[in-house]
Amino acid sequence: MNAKSRLTPTSLEQSVLPTGADRLLAGGRLTIDLDALADNWRSLDARSRPGRAAAVVKADAYGCGIAQVVPALTAAGCDSFFVALPEEGLRVRHAAPRARVFVLNGLFDDAAPAFTDADLIPVLGSDHEIAIWAKHGRRKPCAIHVDTGMNRLGLSPGEAIAFAGSAKSVRPVLLMSHLACADTPSSDKSRQQLESFQKVRAAFGDIESSLANSAGIFLGSDYAFDLTRPGIALYGGEAVDGTGSPMKQVVTAETRIVQIRHAAKGETAGYGATTTLARDTRIAVCSTGYADGYPRAASGSGIPLRSTIAEGAHGFIAGQRVPVLGRVTMDLTSFDVTDVPEDAIGIGDHIELFGANIALDDVARAAGTIGYELLTGLGLRYHRRYIGGELVF
């Protein structure tokens, strides 16, 4: 194979990439569009000008696969990646030998050699971590995290400004903070954090700076600085609450029909007998459940978990939306397919859980959660099928 080659979806699926469960044996499938992913990064990169966009690929690239996502983004022009853990960083380094790889979740003394050996860049958020890196880092680059309002990781603004004068004890190449309410544009919190970050940035001089996550990019150029850190928007998810996603659809999740059964009006369906059938009903029982990341709370009201909407989630088959029926269980989910013509659906067919016809975030809202949780919770039992993508070997 040439050093850089275009792969058809068929060859990509069959001969290059690990695809999880066997295609014929899996209960569901994930189709991941690497061309759409790359287009989303380019769009977010353009919105980040005059800065650049990195890519957040923690949690196995939001469930899409570091080994597949990182080469596709590298080919699109991305040269900086953010992960949560050093183990993830090592996987990114394997996929992108020349990229900058930032590790967000702190630094332990016993993990420092792994950072230096693989040229991972730790994001330091305490005096303790700075001391560890001064001991182990051997003047290798690091990033400094300042907490401007999350009360999570990071130096306080005062601590960061005090440290700026002695920053040469390590080699900071990036100053960053994280927005708490960027997904709610009406909140004053983002502007307050911006002002706090600007004060800290002034103390550090010309160091590269990063504040905006996916939602922060949509707040405007004031938040872009030198490097943005898109995550959920890369994968087609909704970055700003309730606005829908302007990004291309990247992930389609489908479940396979195991059985189609008929039940009479007045009978109940599922655990707890929480659903009483209001009509004679055809039920498609499908081989995906909460063990596969399809949330139990998507069953809707009657499942006392979180704040779920009354009707629960829907699937899509044969041009129609079909509601979840009864409780989502560990390995199985049922859908009411009464209104789908009988000759349009059969055992072995796939029902879309989310994708082009059912928005990821609509399913998440039905379960009282967010698209991030849904994507990152996708299990290993799906057959993963990758389409598009220009891979670098």
Catalytic residue among 135, 199, 271, 386: 271
330 among the known binding-site residues? Answer: yes
152 among the known binding-site residues? Answer: yes
Q: Is 271 a catalytic residue?
A: yes
Q: Is residue 50 reached through a cis peptide bond, with omega within 30 degrees of 0 on the bond before it? A: yes
The H or E element that residue 386 is part of is strand 382-387
Helix and strand element counts for the chain (H, E): 12, 21
Place of tokens 């999740």: 253
In 150-170, which positions are buried (b, 16+ CB within 10 angstroms) versus exposed (e)?
eeebbbebebbbebbeebeeb
User: Under a CB-based contact definition with an 8 Å cutoff, are residues 302 and 272 in contact?
Assistant: yes
User: Under a CB-based contact definition with an 8 Å cutoff, are residues 262 and 282 in contact?
Assistant: yes
Task: Write the DSSP string, 103-168.
Answer: E-S---GGGHHHHHHHT-EEEE-SHHHHHHHHHHSTT-EEEEEB-SS-SSSSB-HHHHHHHHTTGG
How distant, in Å, are the alpha carbons of 248, 323, 337, 339, 366 from that of 319? 20, 13, 12, 11, 21
Q: Is 372 a catalytic residue?
A: no
Catalytic residue among 58, 290, 372, 382: 58
* CA separation for the pair 85, 83 (Å, rounded): 6
* CA separation for the pair 75, 70 (Å, rounded): 9
Identity at 162, one-letter amino acid code: A
DSSP conformation class of 381: T
Say how many CA atoms lie within 13 Å of 156 toward its Cβ.
3
User: Under a CB-based contact definition with an 8 Å cutoff, are residues 102 and 143 in contact?
Assistant: yes
Annotated binding-site ranges:
152, 330
Annotated binding residues for substrate, written as ranges, equal 152, 330
Which residues are tagged catalytic? 58, 271
